[in-house]
Structure 1
Amino acid sequence: MDLKEQKYVCTLAECKSLTRASERLYISQPALSLYINNVEKILGARLFERNGRKFELTWLGKQYVEKASQMLELERQFEAVRRQTDREDAGQVRIGIAQRRGIWFLPAVLSVYEREWPQVDVVIREGNLADLTIMLKNRELDLVVLSQSDVTSEMEAVPLGMEDFLLILPGDHPLNEKAVPVEGSKFDFLDPHLLSGETIFLNTEMQSARRVEEKILKDYKVKPGRVRVVRNMELGAQLVAEGLGVGFIRQGYQKNIHYPKPVKYYTIDISRYGQDVVVAYRRDVELTKPMRAMIMQMKDAAEEYLKL
């Protein structure tokens, strides 16, 4: 910001002398005098009364100095922020994440990050995949948490971990008897072929989970008796718990769903339907130090969030 005019007037008002003011400003007396005269000419009013060599503020001059002093203080505050940002220990990190994933993932991330980076303003934007992709493209976001399969050619991605995609059934559903254990997994396997004829809850077409759900149904040639669409996976799980159908859920979501009536979770094939969760950013953007620190904290938190 160029506030030379305000600085010159305020300095002269404080010094009341061209000599002292010009010395403080490192300019000649004639140059300062000419500058002040030009300011008054532009304003069409006098800011100073000249009493010999002494400069006294007029009433209008006092009003000018009051406002100009506020402007100079704001400039000093902004400059302090700018210098701090240049040192990369301040600034802003804007994160985009799906609402349900954000609820269970971000608190663990931010509880540590904001203690270590108190000068950084963390902005959280929640939305579906389409919204988040557009916001990143328009430079409205710095980082986006999404699935690897949703990363575009304009993005660079850092892996956070593998998230299984689970089948969910009511606790008393007869098909639970057909589940078989899977070595190395806490989830049993249930053959999706058995779901034909069932009412199945699916996500909306705008959600990335819908593509996984449709792939499972296609691969296993499942013919639902009825399809019901819900946007919220947690709602879908509760409807399943009430015996209204079966559905699917991301592994990270199921860990934090608590509902009085029991449900059963089953793995299908993590190698085929599991999702690599990543944090992505624009390929043409150089990461700041706070952004790199946020990615590292996300990686640490993901180990617990995606733990099998």
Structure 2
Amino acid sequence: MDFKDLTYLIAIEKYGNISKAAEALFLSQPSLSRFLQNTESYVGQPLFNRIGNKYVPTYVGQRYIARAKEILNIKKELDQEVGDILKNDSGLLNVGFPAMRGTYMLPCTLPIFHSLYPNVKIKIHEESSNRLNELILNGDIDLAFYNQPDDNPNIETEIISHEEMVLVMSPDNPLCEMAYPMEGCRYPHLDLNLLEEKGQGVIMQNPNQRTRTIVDRLFRQHHVTPNIILETSNIRAEAELASRNYGVCFITETHLKHMKLDKPLKFFSVGDPSTPINFVAAYRKNSYLPYHATEYIKIVRDFT
């Protein structure tokens, strides 16, 4: 079995369907079906259960595919390392960003990278931070940039910059008058308990977004039950809504720096006494990080 055969098995598992997998691999369906039959005959066990048109890996299939992914990741890292040794300024770099972060970071960093390495193609993956973690661990991307997650023993991070998550609202919101200066806070400090006491509506990001995870933890730590009036993945939309006094929301200050809104906003520090966040570059621990990935990290660090 060669590397190509391993990609066939991974495609069948990914798409769960022979026809779709064959189309993605630019193969005919009969050819891929024969390949699977021959492979299962060689292994001596079925690798997939056939449930209608759905192909679901058996336990043996799961182990086979897991090892196949490991082998292909090792091959990819070896190819990258050899390319770096040969000083080959060409190749492909897979980079992940949350969508909002990418809107202002990509236009400022990709042209610089391209001017230095015109023969290196960058493929951008825009996903939630949790999904980017999965792509890192699966070897689908070389690195990602996002707000630092909870510690993961299989992911290495490098701090790019420090920022603060702030509470955002319209200047017309009466809560603005209840904030006060506090040592260690960049912005006036507002007690989170006031949100519950005043019945203030809160706009929240979706549960799979990193900021939402941080805000949920913050509310639990302060024993506050928020009045959630809206959940959205659109960070700009929640800022626009807050500027129109349709609730309050939580956004990292870097996002806010790059937004041009029709109406003004007020920012407040919350937490003990504030809620700092590290913006990081992340990649798989104990894996080879390509030379061009380290160069792109430097460019992003300079931008921030």
**Aligned 1:133-172 pairs, distance under 5 A:** 133-172=133-172
SS in 1 for 2:167: strand
Aligned 1:4-43 pairs, distance under 5 A? none
Q: Does structure 2 retain, via aligned residues, the 8 Å contact 1:151–1:157?
A: no
Secondary structure (helix, strand or coil) at the match of 2:206 reads coil
Code of the aligned partner of 2:90: A
Please say if residues 88 and 290 of structure 1, whose CA atoms lie closer than 8 Å, have aligned partners that are also in contact: no
- Within a 5 Å distance, the mapping from 1:50-89 to structure 2 comes to 86-89=86-89
- 1:55-134 paired onto structure 2 within 5 Å: 86-134=86-134
Q: How many residues align?
A: 221
Cα distance between partner residues in 1 of 2:154 and 2:303: 26
Q: Does 1:195 align with 2:190?
A: no
- % identical aligned pairs: 25
Amino acid of the residue matched to residue 91 of structure 1?
Answer: G
Q: What TM-score, normalized by structure 2, do the two folds share?
A: 0.67
- Does the 8 A contact of 1:202 with 1:228 survive in 2? yes
Secondary structure of the structure 2 residue equivalent to 1:200: strand
- How far apart are the structure 2 equivalents of 1:199 and 1:84? 53
Q: Among 205, 218, 242, which residue is 2:207 paired with?
A: 205
Aligned to 1:41: none
Instruction: Supply the distance in 2 between the matched residues of 1:241 and 1:105 (Cα, whole angstroms).
Output: 24
Distance 1:83 1:104 in 2: 31
Q: Provide the C-alpha distance between the structure 1 equivalents of 2:182 and 2:117, rounded to a whole number of angstroms.
A: 42
Q: CA deviation at 1:227?
A: 3.5
Residue 258 of structure 2 is aligned to residue 233 of structure 1: no
Amino acid at match of 2:290: T
Shift, 1:150, TM fit: 4.0
- Structure 2 runs not aligned, ≥5 long: 1-81
Contact 1:168 1:266 in 2 (8 A): yes
Q: CA deviation at 1:86?
A: 3.2
Distance (Å, rounded) in 1 between the aligned partners of 2:300 and 2:176: 35
**Larger Rg, first or second structure (1 or 2):** 1
* AA at the equivalent of 1:108: C
Verify the 8 A CA contact 1:202 1:247 in the aligned structure 2. Answer: yes
- Where does structure 1 lack aligned partners over 5 or more consecutive residues? 1-81, 303-308
Displacement, 1:243?
1.4
Distance 1:270 1:254 in 2: 22
Supply the distance in 2 between the matched residues of 1:125 and 1:85 (Cα, whole angstroms): 27
Amino acid at match of 1:106: L
Query: In structure 1, what is the equivalent of residue 265 of structure 2?
Result: 263
Q: Report the CA distance between 1:173 and its aligned residue.
A: 0.7
